[in-house]
Structure 1
């Protein structure tokens, strides 16, 4: 945990960090605003920058790195597959595909899997699935299918997905927008129930809203959504891209209310932080509506992705990582409650090893706190001006978690 603080001057002036950031700014579109760090190596919960400084990664790729950086089991699975075959396209079968689909379906308590690559692709797939199911199975008149979503949602940034976003930054200047969605307040079961009509084919929700600041809905909300959708013949589609696969102390966040949705949308941690892997997982009745040529992806379900995904499923099947998230999550939230009680935070939300922290205005913005923590050897990320998110890898040790929280406490107390 020793931190090196020296900077390496470059032959063209400036440090290695400064030169690489300047080059990135000059040659890449500015669709992100990264913190001023350039990572070169990583292992477990720690990363090392181009100048040899080390940091605890308390973001974990927005949950894509649930198992930490370079987990030996995942790296071994990827290396072994790299030496065999990496891509066939779905024009042909390969020897990893059937087992991946079967074992992921079993983990989810479902029957069928439609693998894709990114989370946004999986959400788009779920939208198409719900609409086609609505027309073919429910009998909604063609072109009238409606999907209910929640305000504050984040499901991706494709044209269709931002059409039902309520975030101006994600939505502005990208119209015209795709119709067929109705937005209701997150956590308001009465509003959701009132929005359901004969044309409604699905309710698409994050069980915990990540990008919005790790918002946990009121107790009973998810169970209520499950009841309403079952009674009204509507699919409950749970976007567990960030909340799923161990992050909250259960395999899926829906499990905290004993809820099983009709459709899981998965991504991020499914690829183990090694390759992009996503999937829509559901019943035969729902995913069985697809016919050849109606949906696809050249890389979706490729051999390398399936090999890594299989290892992820095997690791989750043990329950070890869910247990660590639950135990360390209790410790995390107890420590954060202390910061809240000391007036260093205005609100804390979350579940398991996942938390959203609201910063008092007098202590700076979320960005300012993130930048200060960077100087202290801790990587976090801000959202919505006053909030930072904590989502350390599930493999983080208690000592490293406490080390990071000590630096958070010092950062907040500096003003």
Structure 2
């Protein structure tokens, strides 16, 4: 299973649904292709395909690999249903990103104009080089919202169709629908965090971690783990606590690493503007650490900056906060936190592999799949901590080797 295969199948499934939408009309006397609204529909369809392109497909690959680790028999029909279920999860991910970019006012996604910006009218419509305006208009924002809704709806349809050909189909449907509720809840919490007080860094850190659990971990790691087990016919209730704990640690480490890229990354590699979280005033764990570790005058200046309207935050101010996060030790604190989560997650992954009675081949697949969500080395002591856990368990450093293989 590869990201390219997932993306190709995603486009096939989406195009099949879009062909149905454009072929369906109100009647023979009023075919839809003569309706002026067709232009908007075609624009949304094209952007749905475009917005879904790119990305590492980590969620889909985790789901497929968990199923592959458990499934011992070759069954092409079953495998196709699993791939389609994984694609449904990626389609939902696309819908969440479209809505997220609108909420955050992000101009770019994966190195291209964000969907709501691409759907806006160019300032000079007769200029073929002006492919997207600098700012979204009401049309682009409205169509972007509808595009996100359409993708979310289609993701559910795709998931239910795939579930019909898999063991525990009803349970798969319930989990898939539950993750959508969790993500929306997390998005609401995230927006509520914009008003969170900056006077209590410890409380702010706790709130940010709680929000990440709902908004990111719920469908990035918890859901693929659960869906992969169900697709293989495994009793999820028996392993629910372990799956939740492993998925939470993986998801938090993944999101904390993403937040770190916003400060210490390069937008040529991330595909979105570095410093965006600072410019938007997002209340992150990294911000909480900065407020706790900076001197009083520095912390006061950061609070003043974050309490000001985002439109007034200049590049120089954003860079000042980025530099402070580095110099005060907040970035290194985040790396240590990610390392601790990574070590704990790998211990949980080994324990769950034992509980699932995976074969040697299945165990390698499972551990390697989990390892994709963790940085190879975030601190100098990372590998020493992994080795310590393996030694205590009396096992070879299988997880670490899997991670090194993945990195190579």
**TM-score scaled to structure 2, two decimals?**
0.26
Q: Identify, as 1 or 2, the structure richer in strand.
A: 1
Structure 1 or 2: more helix by fraction: 2
| TM-score under structure 1 length normalisation | 0.25
Of the two structures, which has the highest relative contact order with CA contacts closer than 8 Å and spacing of 6 or more? 1
